[in-house]
């Protein structure tokens, strides 16, 4: 009768697979289904490339030159070179082992004769029956045991929390000691003398090389310097096997910096954390704070003007759209863009994404109407400081912001002169769409570039953007940078942006040189 209960068939199938796995030693899957270990060794958690949404969630970790969340870049692997060569080798060995010719029979087998084969067949059938009976017995026993004994999964969609302004915020659920302070010296280098951007870049570099202790040292110093970057620090600690330290920085970061519970619950860096019995408590806490930040109403803009700007005189404007997890002030900072604004005679206006995830952590909705409304709001906020020239608004973005820039320029060719699309990606899995041909005979300029060796989805989106732009009659410059594997701005960005800008703003300008 137990076998007629709902779910018994699935349970028995699961038990049978466990028996086979234990017998062969070929696979082990943790209770959450997150991490797979084969007989050939550890493999990267594939949640970051399990589809377009998860692919881009990992891409959330990138921004310009190993910036706020790019400390774990390259984007999707967060510093790990997403190189599947080791998997290919393992698979190749298995294939070669399984392709032994049928006629490769040993002399001993030939001499055994049909009687030996029959005996072997009978033994095999008997063993099969024993295994089947054992599976039924174990399955029945599991049905009779308390449900709490069975492995529990963490459902990323469960316990969705909606925070209402005025609701009390919870106290941290886990009592964790602050981790020991990492050494401020890395070899002969005093990290206290290194600037914040270099520290983050160094952390990303060491992470990609598997030197997690050095990555932790650099990222910790960056956090102390800037009061940001706790999420990446937690990632490094988790990969290093220090679960308590990783939990500490995630919990602290949710309140002091921001929270993205969806990303955290999928991030391949936290496979081991999700096995910890304290994880459900922390995840619930992260969800509450994510809802809190989403309802906070926080937004920001960053504006860099040529030094000789007169507010009433119209000038071209380049509107910067950052990637997931970044912010406007980091994406367009005066120190980097002032000289470009002076030389090009244009304004640079960076806009925070539609969705707030923390004090300085934003993402785009990927709803064209909502994202365009956010851009218009930022233009209104700065209308007393400069006047955008009609028809000379250019969108430029990176990662998710690049996808938004490309999509809005395709859907509004009458408004935007064009777009610079740098390594695009998105959370929704949408394709680029064009709703109309270029208006009034005007042909917008589109620059679509990425690394030739970036993730295939980044390359695909770049190609799709170029193809959709051509379909509306736009002028298109497309380039896949040879050998560029890291999800970042192209290496010649600062040199090429003025050239790309001229191509976009001047309909008669020739295609830029490759």
Angle at alpha carbon of residue 337, lines to 489 and 500, rounded to 5°: 55
The predicted model scores a pTM of 0.67
pLDDT at 294 over 60: yes
Instruction: Tell me which of 111 and 453 has the higher pLDDT.
Output: 453
What is the model's pLDDT at position 442?
Answer: 74
Give the pLDDT score at 262: 87
Tens-digit pLDDT profile for residues 482-493: 999 989 999 999
The per-residue DSSP string of 348-400 comes to: EEEE--SEEEETTEEE----HHHHHHHHHHHHHHTTTT-EEEEEEEEEEEETH
Coil, strand or helix at 42? strand
Tens digit of pLDDT for each residue in 147-202?
A: 332 333 444 444 455 666 677 889 999 999 999 999 999 999 999 999 998 999 89
For residues 294 and 286, what is the distance between their CA atoms, to the nearest angstrom?
Answer: 12
Is 50 exceeded by the pLDDT of residue 143?
no
What mean pLDDT is predicted for residues 264-291?
95
For residue 138, give the DSSP letter.
Answer: H
Residue predicted with more confidence, 426 or 83: 426
Q: In this predicted structure, what is the pLDDT of residue 163? A: 62
User: What pLDDT, on the 0 to 100 scale, is given for residue 47?
Assistant: 29
CA-based radius of gyration for the chain = 27
Give 82-141 pLDDT, tens digit per residue: 232 222 222 222 222 322 223 332 333 333 344 444 454 455 566 565 555 665 554 554
Q: How far is CA 371 from the centre of its chain?
A: 20
* Across 61-70, 173-182, 269-278, 443-452, least confident range: 61-70
Task: Check whether 79 has a pLDDT greater than 50.
Answer: no
The percent of residues above 90 in pLDDT, for the chain, comes to 61
Q: Say what the pLDDT of residue 38 is.
A: 27
| Between residues 108 and 370, the one the model is more confident about | 370
More confident residue, 423 or 141: 423
Give whole-number Cα distances, 475 to 342, 465, 468, 511, in Å.
26, 12, 11, 8
Provide the pLDDT for residue 122: 58
What's the token pair of residue 297? 């109403």
Q: Is 194 helix (H, G, I), strand (E, B) or coil?
A: coil
The distance of Cα 19 from the centroid of its chain, to the nearest Å, equals: 35
Q: Which residue has the higher pLDDT, 443 or 340?
A: 340
Report pLDDT for 166.
73
Which is higher by pLDDT, 38 or 462?
Answer: 462
**pLDDT score recorded for residue 87:** 28
Q: Measured between alpha carbons, how far is 203 from 220 in angstroms, rounded to an integer?
A: 9
| Predicted confidence band of residue 508 (pLDDT cuts 50, 70, 90) | very high
* 8 Å CB contact between 425 and 350: no
List pLDDT tens digits, range 404-416.
999 999 999 989 9
Separation of alpha carbons 43 and 198, rounded Å? 30
What's the whole-number mean pLDDT along residues 15-26?
34
In the predicted model, what is the mean pLDDT of the chain? Answer: 76
Mind listing the domains of the chain with CATH numbers? 48-81+155-296 (no CATH), 301-505 (3.40.50.1820)
């Amino acid at each position: 009768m137990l076998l007629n209960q709902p779910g018994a068939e699935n349970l028995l199938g699961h038990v049978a697979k466990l028996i086979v796995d234990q017998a062969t030693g070929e696979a082990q899957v943790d209770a959450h289904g997150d991490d797979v270990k084969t007989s050939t060794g550890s493999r990267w958690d594939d949640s970051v490339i399990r589809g377009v949404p998860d692919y881009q969630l990992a891409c959330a970790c990138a921004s310009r030159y190993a910036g706020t969340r790019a400390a774990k870049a390259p984007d999707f692997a967060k510093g790990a070179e997403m190189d599947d060569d080791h998997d290919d080798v393992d698979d190749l060995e298995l294939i070669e082992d399984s392709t032994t010719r049928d006629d490769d029979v040993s002399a001993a087998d030939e001499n055994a004769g049909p009687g030996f084969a029959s005996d072997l067949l009978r033994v095999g059938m008997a063993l099969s029956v024993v295994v089947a009976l054992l599976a039924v017995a174990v399955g029945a026993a599991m049905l009779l045991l308390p449900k709490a004994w069975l492995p529990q999964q963490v459902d990323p969609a469960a316990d969705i929390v909606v925070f209402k302004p005025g609701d009390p915020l919870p106290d941290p659920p886990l009592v964790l000691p602050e981790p020991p302070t990492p050494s401020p010296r890395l070899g002969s280098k005093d990290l206290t003398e290194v600037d914040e951007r270099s520290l983050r870049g160094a952390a990303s570099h060491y992470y990609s090389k598997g030197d997690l202790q050095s990555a932790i040292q650099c990222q910790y110093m960056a956090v102390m310097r800037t009061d940001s970057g706790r999420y990446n620090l937690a990632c490094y600690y988790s990969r290093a096997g220090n679960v308590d330290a990783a939990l500490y920085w995630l919990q602290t970061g949710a309140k002091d910096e921001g929270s993205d519970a969806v990303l955290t619950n999928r991030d391949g860096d936290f496979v081991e954390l999700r096995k910890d019995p304290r994880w459900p408590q922390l995840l619930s806490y992260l969800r509450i704070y994510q809802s809190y930040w989403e309802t906070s109403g926080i937004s920001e803009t960053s504006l860099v003007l040529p030094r000789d700007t007169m507010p009433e005189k119209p000038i071209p404007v380049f509107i910067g759209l950052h990637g997931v997890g970044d912010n406007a002030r980091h994406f367009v900072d005066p120190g980097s863009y002032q000289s470009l604004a002076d030389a090009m005679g244009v304004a640079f206006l960076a806009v925070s994404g539609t969705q707030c995830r923390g004090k300085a952590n934003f993402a785009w909705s990927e709803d064209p109407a909502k994202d365009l409304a956010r851009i218009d709001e930022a233009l209104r906020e700065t209308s007393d400081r400069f006047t955008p020239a009609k028809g000379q608004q250019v969108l430029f973005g990176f990662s998710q912001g690049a996808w938004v820039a490309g999509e809005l320029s395709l859907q509004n060719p009458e408004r935007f002169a064009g777009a610079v699309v740098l390594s695009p990606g998105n959370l929704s899995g949408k394709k680029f769409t064009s709703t109309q041909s270029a208006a009034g005979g005007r042909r917008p300029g589109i620059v679509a570039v990425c690394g030739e060796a970036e993730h295939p989805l980044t390359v695909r989106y770049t190609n799709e953007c170029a193809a959709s732009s051509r379909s509306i009659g736009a002028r298109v410059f497309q380039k896949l940078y040879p050998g560029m594997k890291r999800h970042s701005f192209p290496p010649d960005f600062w040199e090429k942006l003025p050239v790309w800008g001229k191509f976009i703003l001047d309909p008669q300008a020739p295609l830029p040189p490759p």
